[in-house]
Amino acid sequence: MDPETLLAVCDPEPTQGFNGGPESHFYCEDVFPIALAAFAEVTRDPIMRIHARRAVCYEGQPCPPALVESGSVTGWTATAAYTVAIDVRESSIPVPALDSAAVWPSANSATPEVFRPTLPPAPDELFDRAPYPFCGQTELQWPVEPRTCFLDAVLDGRPAETIDRSYGIEGDEVFQVIRFDGRGAPLLYAAVNGHWSVERAFVLLNPGGLDWSVNGWYGTRRELPLGTDKSGIGCVAGEPSGNSTTHYFNGTCYGWRIADHDTLVDAGLHDMGAQLDCDPRLYGDSIETSGPPADTHPTDLDIEFDALPDGAKAQDLAKWACGRKAASVSKLLTFADSYGGGMITVERYRTATASLEAPVIDDSLAACEVRGRPAICFDRAGGGPEYPYGWSMVAIVEDGTFDPNAVMLRIWSDERGLAELMKVAENVIPL
C-alpha cells in the first residue's frame, strides 16, 4: 500500500453517533490493507481510491455485534470498481466482486481561488509549498464552509489547502495545514507549540457526512525541523516593550519601525503624517467632520480592485487631498454572508516617517509578500477591551523611496481573518 498514490475515505465509526455504544473493531487502518490484498487477487491494475463503508449506531436503536464488526470496502482502478465484505470476527473474507453500481462519495463545492497564506515559522518544505486553491482557515474547526470546501475538493480529486488552529487538553496550541494535490493521500502538517511534523493521512467522515477529520497512516509520520525563518527575513525584533504581563513587539520590518504607541512617542517616531505643500482638504466623512462626497473627487492614491470578495460591497470613506494629490484615502468593505458579515477597512496613505503603530505580541506578525511587494502580516494581534478577539492586518510598502514620502497600503479588520485580508490585498490594483 502506497499512501502517496492511494486516496482512502472511511465512513464514521459505528459508535460515533453516540457515546457509550458497543465497541467496534472494524478499524479503517486495519481493513484497508486487508481489502487491498484481496483486490490484488482479482486485478493487476492499481487501486487509486478506496472507501470503507460501515453502519452507524444511533442511541435508542439496535446495535448488534454483526453491525459494528462488519462492513464493506470498495476500491476503484482507473476503469473498474471492486467491493469486498469484511467481518473482523472472521478469519477469512470472500473474493471481491466487480461492482458496477459502486458510487464514490459526492462533492459539489466550487473551486476557490489559488492562494498561499502566510504561516508562522515553519519547515522549508511548507513555507516554500506550491500555492493551491485555498478553502480558508478555521479555529476549532469552525466555520464549516472551509472544511466543506476542502472535503469536496478531496472527493472530487482537486488540489486544495485548508488551515485549522485548535488547542490541546492542557492548552497547547495545535496549528494544522492540510494539503491535497489532487491524488493520493492528503498531507497533514501539524505544529504543537511550534514543533512540526507531517504525515500522509486518510479521511474519516463524521455521521451524516457533515464533517470530517484526517488520521495519519501508520509509519508515514516524520518530524520536521524549522527551516530558515524566511517569514522573519524582513522583521527583526528588539527588546520587547509593554509591562510585566504584556510584551509588545518592538523592532523593524523591512526597515520600518514597528512598535506600540508609547514606544514610538518616546522614540520620536509617532508623527506619521505626510510632507505636503498644502493643507489637505477632507472629501467624505471623518469622525469629527465631513466634506464633499469622496466618490466625486479622484486622487492619485485612489483604491481600485481587480475583484471584490464574494458578498462584499465597497464604499468610499474619506479622502484627504490637495487637489489630485492625496495624503490618504480609505474604503470600507462590508459583508453579508454565511461567515457572519463584518467589515474590512482598506487605507492607502503617504507618510514621511518609516514607522507603524501596532501593539502586537511577537508571534502575531511576520514579514510576507503581496504581488511581490514587501508586506507585514498581523494575525489575530492586539486584544484588550476594544478588540477582545484581536485584529488582523496586512500592511504593504507600495513606495519606500521617501521622496519625501513613502506610500503604505493597509487592510485591516477585527472581524475577518488574515487569509481573507491577504486575498483582498492581492486584488488591490497597485499604484
Condensed to tens digits (0 to 9), the pLDDT of residues 229-275 reads 444 456 777 776 665 556 788 888 877 888 888 888 887 777 667 88
- What does the pLDDT read at residue 157? 95
pLDDT at residue 33 in the model: 95
Highest mean pLDDT among 177-181, 227-231, 355-359, 417-421: 177-181
The answer on pLDDT for 173 being more than 50 is yes
- The position carrying cell 458578498 is 311
- Give the residue-averaged pLDDT of 13-38: 81
Instruction: Tell me the percentage of the chain whose pLDDT exceeds 70.
Output: 89
- Tell if the pTM clears 0.75, that is, is over it: no
Spatial distance between the Cα atoms of 110 and 113, rounded to a whole number of angstroms:
10
**Per-residue model confidence (pLDDT) at position 387:** 47
Q: What integer pLDDT is reported at residue 386 of this predicted model?
A: 47
pLDDT above 90 as % of the chain? 45
- Three cell numbers written together for 21: 455504544
Q: Per-residue confidence at 420, pLDDT binned at 50, 70, 90?
A: confident
Residue 363 has pLDDT above 90, yes or no: no
Tell whether the model's pLDDT for residue 389 goes beyond 70. no
pLDDT of residue 192 exceeding 50 = yes
pLDDT for 84-119, tens place per residue? 999 999 999 999 999 999 999 888 888 887 777 767
Mean of pLDDT values over 331-347: 82
Residue 384: per-residue pLDDT: 47
- Which pLDDT value is given to residue 161? 94
Q: Is the pLDDT of residue 334 over 80?
A: yes
* Mean pLDDT confidence for 200-221: 87
Burial group, residue 75, by CB count within 10 angstroms (0-12, 13-18, 19+): buried
385 pLDDT band, cuts 50/70/90, is very low
Q: Is the pLDDT of residue 380 over 80?
A: no
Domain boundaries, the chain: 7-98, 114-224, 230-426
- Mean pLDDT of all residues in the chain? 85
